[in-house]
Amino acid sequence: MNKTIMQTTLPVLDFEQFAALSDEEAAPRIVAARERLGSKAVLLSHHYQRADVYRHADITGDSLKLARLAARTEAEFIVFCGVHFMAEVADILSRPEQTVILPDLAAGCSMADMANLAKVERCWRDLASVLGEPEKLVTPVTYINSAADLKAFCGEHGGIVCTSTNAPSIIDWALKRREKVLFFPDQHLGRWTGYKKGIPLEQMAVWNPDFENGGLTAEEIQRARILLWNGYCSVHQMFQAEHIRRWRAQHPEGLVISHPECNLDVCQASDYVGSTEFIIETVTAAPPNTRWLVGTELNLVNRLAEQMKPQGKAIQFMSPIVCMCSTMQRIDPQHLAWSLENLANGNVVNPIRVPAFDAERARTALLNMLETS
């Protein structure tokens, strides 16, 4: 898959020239660079992105939505204000003539990093030692919050990708094909999905990749219908069922909505559970003057609270401790201005290119998901 790269016309601007800018100083430079680029570039921003970057976006949404919509634009350059795995998905799904740019390569995802290819391949070998040929018994399912080579692993081994929205239908697909699922990297989304499907908790075992056979006995592996990778989102682990109980005591008329990356007891104590898009749509569609406790990333909650004020809706962040996605925060106005000015000058900085071999196999797993859901 050949990706076009803009011809260099001016020297590359060093980031040090931008690092000293204040957020207010960076903003007009972002606007000016975008005006110079016109329709050649489209700017994407995930819902968790900080407000002073989010406001510049052409398209906002969750990771898969952004990647799919960007691929349909005529833009030659896709500037993704998100994290690394999101930019990889955009590269995989975009057209050959499009180039994806991540303003700061350090914008990763701690959850995605909890599962890497070496550990997943060792898990697959361990499963083979217990079950025989795992491809006859186990469907690998990776959450979209994962590296491209793990999506490629799933594509190679008859597996699939899921999102927080379509996970139930994906689990159905996987269990119809084989009797077990290996779900990574987020154990909580896998557990909540299995729980909602009526799978007993004792048939969902946590696989710890730091131990032989995931720290499980042969009997536990054989009994499990879903093997849950020992991974999690550090932001969503901040929320506790006790936060909900205390809030309900003060606001018995209130409603609670949480992301499925939260712990099972948080999801069980919530009135609604769903993706970032689901949270936004549900709160937006609610009657005026309702009160909400929201268990997801702080930037999204704050933005939603501001947007809902005219309707009299009171929206509160679930945790008493302020916590936002620190890796998403790496995309700041300074990095965005730097990447856009370089692009306007004819220089592509921080292009994201998934190797062709991985991209083809990952695309297979992604297409399996899109066809299924």
* CATH number of the domain enclosing 220: 3.40.50
Same domain? 88 vs 64: yes
- Number of neighbouring beta carbons within 10 Å of residue 348: 19
The CA distance from 100 to 92, in Å, is 10
What integer pLDDT is reported at residue 223 of this predicted model? 97
Which of 200, 233, 266 is where one domain is finished? 233
Distances, alpha carbon 335 to alpha carbons 29, 81, 104, 111, 248, in Å: 11, 10, 6, 23, 41
What integer pLDDT is reported at residue 34 of this predicted model? 96
Same domain? 287 vs 332: no
Same domain? 190 vs 268: no
Q: How many domains does the chain have?
A: 3
Which is it for strands 351-352 and 99-101: parallel, antiparallel or unpaired? Answer: antiparallel
Same domain? 137 vs 187: yes
What integer pLDDT is reported at residue 320 of this predicted model? 84
Same domain? 222 vs 255: no
CATH of the domain at 350: 3.40.50.10800
Query: Residue 159: exposed, middle, or buried by beta-carbon count in 10 A (0-12, 13-18, 19+)?
Result: buried
Same domain? 243 vs 258: yes
The CA distance from 121 to 83, in Å, is 24
Q: Is residue 95 part of a domain?
A: yes
Same domain? 149 vs 241: no
Same domain? 214 vs 267: no
Same domain? 177 vs 289: no
Q: What pLDDT tens digit does each residue of the chain (373 aa) get? A: 555 555 556 889 999 999 999 999 999 999 999 999 999 999 999 988 999 999 999 999 988 898 899 889 999 999 999 999 999 999 999 999 999 999 999 998 889 999 999 999 999 999 999 999 888 999 999 999 999 999 999 999 999 999 999 999 999 999 999 999 999 999 999 999 999 999 999 999 999 999 999 999 999 999 999 999 999 998 899 999 999 999 999 999 999 999 999 999 999 999 999 999 999 999 999 999 999 999 999 999 999 999 999 999 999 999 987 766 767 778 999 999 999 999 999 999 999 999 999 999 999 999 999 999 8
Same domain? 116 vs 220: yes
Range(s) of the domain holding residue 286: 236-317
72 within 8 A of 108, measured Cβ to Cβ: no
Q: Is residue 11 part of a domain?
A: no
SS (H, E, C) 138-202: EEEEEECCCCHHHHHHHHHCCCEEECCCCHHHHHHHHHHHCCEEEEECCHHHHHHHHHHCCCCHH
Task: Give phi and psi for 139, each to the nearest 5.
Answer: -100, 120
Q: Is residue 5 part of a domain?
A: no
Same domain? 214 vs 298: no
Q: Is residue 2 part of a domain?
A: no
Which of 317, 345, 363 is where one domain is finished? 317
Same domain? 122 vs 224: yes
